[in-house]
Amino acid sequence: MSREVNSGIIKARAVLEELRVKHPSELLIEAIAWRYGVRVYTSPLDGAEGCMIRKGHRGTILIREGLDPGKYRFNVAHELGHFLLHPMLSLKACTETDFLFWRIRHDNEREADDFAVNLLLPEGMFVKRIEGGKPSFDTISQVATDFETSLTFTASRYVELSRFPCALVVSSGDSVEWFKISEGFPGWLEKGQRIDPDSHAYDALHGKVMSTGIQPVQATAWFPQRQWRDIIIREHSIRLGSYEKVLSLIWIPD
């Protein structure tokens, strides 16, 4: 799979090589930050989710207190990315929008995101843990536990690195909020696209009793623009905890 390699990806790989990290248990984000002269603290930040402060060759990262572990680790890695990649920045405060990795990114934010992704979910370690199994949130959840990352973050990386053509969809209200498709996936979605009542995501969004696990669904429920009237695809949809959002993994079986 061809993927653009930018400075964030290159720097994350260099850090992992320099520190000889071989296992997820060694991805101790505060210790990695300390190795590069950065202390990490939590703070009741007002209006920001994270902040990087630079003084010479040393730095401080402040993360808003009360975040769940997966989001905390991503935010620390993102701010560490700013410290290592953007020496011109003496102060960088990031709001919640800056940490929504599906938003349109400015170059600095994208580089910090790519650094965080490749530091916390290194390609080689990640692929070893998804080989052999078919797409499902059961597999993704186990990997997220191993790496101490959020389910959405891990699922996004899964779509990027899986050998299966698949799509990840975040939906809220009655529409698609964000989506990511793997290379070679033959369908396409639109931001704001209405969630079809025939999809399992629709049931999850409306609090209906729904079948759990991987379920068959008619392809036109997700891809009405395609001539797929007789095609059955697979969907695994789950609610995102207390968030009023649903996460859907979609793929076409062999």
pLDDT (tens place) for every residue of the chain, 254 residues total: 345 568 999 999 999 999 999 999 999 999 999 999 999 999 998 889 999 999 999 999 999 999 999 999 999 999 999 999 999 999 999 887 766 655 555 688 889 999 999 999 999 999 999 988 889 999 999 999 999 999 999 999 999 999 999 999 999 989 999 999 998 888 889 999 999 999 999 999 988 866 678 999 999 999 987 778 788 999 999 988 766 899 999 998 87
pLDDT at position 226? 76
pLDDT at position 2? 40
**Together in a domain, 32 and 79:** yes
Residue 60 lies in a domain: yes
In whole angstroms, give the CA distance from residue 115 to residue 109: 10
pLDDT at position 104? 53
pLDDT at position 230? 84
Cα torsion 12, 18, 24, 30: sign: negative
pLDDT at position 65? 94
**Together in a domain, 130 and 204:** yes
Residue (of 47, 110, 112) closest to 83 by Cα position: 112
Residue (of 135, 190, 193) closest to 166 by Cα position: 135
**Together in a domain, 95 and 134:** no
pLDDT at position 105? 57
- Which amino acid makes up residue 61? I
**Together in a domain, 77 and 146:** no
pLDDT at position 29? 97
**Together in a domain, 222 and 190:** yes
For tokens 């991503």, the residue is 74
Residue 1 lies in a domain: no
Last residue of a domain, one of 59, 88, 120: 120
**Together in a domain, 12 and 53:** yes
**Together in a domain, 66 and 29:** yes
Last residue of a domain, one of 120, 140, 161: 120
* Model confidence pLDDT, tens digit, residues 140-168: 999 999 999 999 999 999 999 999 999 99
The pairing of strands 175-181 and 50-55 is unpaired
Domain that holds residue 177: 124-251
**Together in a domain, 139 and 216:** yes
